[in-house]
Amino acid sequence: MTSSFSNLSLAPELARAVAEMGYETMTPIQEQAIPVVLQGKDVMGAAQTGTGKTAAFALPLLQRMMKHENASTSPARHPVRALVLLPTRELAVQVAEQLAEAVAMGAKVLAGGTVETLGGGKYLRPTVLTDVTPMMRVVRDETFGPVIPVTLFDTVEEAVALANDSIYGLSAAVIGDSAEAIAVAERLEAGAISINDGSMTAGVWDAENSSFKLSGMGPSRMGDAGLTRFFRTQALIRQTGTVMPIAAYAEDASW
């Protein structure tokens, strides 16, 4: 095995990104996992927080997926080839705490709802909850796990109000008659909204949008702004007229 990222034969784009991040030497979990995953073999690994586990699975996954890269914006040309359920043990515990709180407050678990330990890692089974309320963190917060809280409503107005009753607004989805779904989508306070699909917003790369509320700051990750957000804008303003005395800027001055 090798401890240097430069000897992994990563795609130029990935190698450049690793170098720009300042990474040169792999951690033990990376050194043991990355070469094996690159070979297409299954790996079960466990390591402490902060040891680079995310890069240990993300880099080889990206390397293997890049051979399918194409310029199409159609989701059909970009099928799912990697699914990360919960990338860290801490996140699994966090989501489990949200589920436990919801059940204690009256929510019912229709499927899943348990965190299981396998080979030192923790995994949350895909979960469906009913009888949830806006007071529960699993509804109110951004839950980064395979959890679907189901809320009933009587009118479209009530559904829109429930959907907008959040401090977050990253993405949303509306399923139904196309005309009505579009009308509802236009009223939702979210940056990217899929119509009659669960996550079109993750596959249409040129759908430029901004995150609403506290879900994010700055330009879109999609479209041209997805690149320009990594650049700084500078303005040079040159005086070409008559230089005015400082008194001209007094509150009672007349121009």
Instruction: Clarify whether residues 214 and 132 are in a common domain.
Output: yes
Model confidence over 175-234: pLDDT tens digits? 999 999 999 999 999 988 999 988 787 777 788 888 888 886 666 777 777 777 777 778
Any domain includes 75? no
Any domain includes 205? yes
Instruction: Clarify whether residues 98 and 191 are in a common domain.
Output: yes
Any domain includes 80? no
Does 78 score more than 70 pLDDT? Answer: no
Dist. CA 215–CA 203, nearest whole Å: 19
Q: Which residues pair with 25 in a beta bridge?
A: 4
Instruction: Clarify whether residues 224 and 99 are in a common domain.
Output: yes
Any domain includes 114? yes
Give the range among 60-74, 101-115, 160-174 with minimum mean pLDDT. 60-74
Give the range among 4-13, 57-66, 180-189, 245-254 with minimum mean pLDDT. 245-254
How many alpha carbons fall within 13 Å on the CB side of residue 103? Answer: 14
Total domain count for the chain? 2
Instruction: Clarify whether residues 53 and 109 are in a common domain.
Output: no
pLDDT, position 74: 64
Any domain includes 168? yes
Dist. CA 173–CA 138, nearest whole Å: 18
> Are the C-beta atoms of 201 and 207 separated by less than 8 Å?
yes
Print the domain residue range for 34: 5-69
Nearest to 4 by CA among 13, 12, 49, 19: 19
Token pair 């299981």 is at which residue? 116
pLDDT, position 136: 93
Instruction: Clarify whether residues 105 and 215 are in a common domain.
Output: yes
DSSP state, residue 167: S
Q: What percentage of residues in the chain have a pLDDT greater than 70?
A: 88
Model confidence over 112-136: pLDDT tens digits? 988 787 776 677 889 999 999 989 9
Q: What value does the mean pLDDT take over residues 46-74?
A: 79
Q: What is the pTM of this model?
A: 0.57
